Amino acid sequence: MPTQRLPLGGRREWRVLFRDKGKWLLGVYRPKFTARSQISILEKHAGPELFFLMKGKVNLVLKEKGRIKDVALRMGEAVVTDIWHNGYRPGGEEGICLVIERDGNPSRYLRLKGRST
């Protein structure tokens, strides 16, 4: 396989940049939500996901041991999770993450009580 340069920008919420079919994939995640209050659904996969903040600000909303909490991503630090999650860009600022996950990693969804889409 030849060496490739992959553009990391864009306005889409999720874009797969590279896939090793059946093994892993690398994508760019730009949360569509700009506040925690907008999030009504969390997702969970069959395997872990790694989030790495590339630009701006992104918070993950995690459901851990029955409690919902925010985790602000920090430059130069990876967060790996296999629990219920979603994300937002605080205050609508730009925020872009690289995500590495298992290819074909099925998603399940959980509606937060008292929230509608």
Predicted pLDDT of residue 28: 96
Domains along the chain?
28-104 (2.60.120.10)
- Which tokens in the block code for residue 22? 């059946």
pLDDT at residue number 11: 82
**pLDDT by residue, tens only, the chain of 117 residues:** 788 887 777 788 999 999 999 999 999 999 999 999 999 999 999 999 999 999 999 999 999 999 999 999 999 999 999 999 999 999 999 999 999 999 998 999 999 987 554
pTM of the model: 0.90
Q: Which residue has the tokens 């991503």?
A: 73
3-state percent breakdown (helix, strand, coil) of the chain, nearest 5: 5, 50, 45
Single-letter amino acid code for the residue at 7: P
Q: How far is CA 5 from the centre of its chain?
A: 22
Q: Of all helices (H) and strands (E), which one includes residue 27?
A: strand 24-29
Q: Per the structure block, which two tokens stand in for 81? A: 């999770």
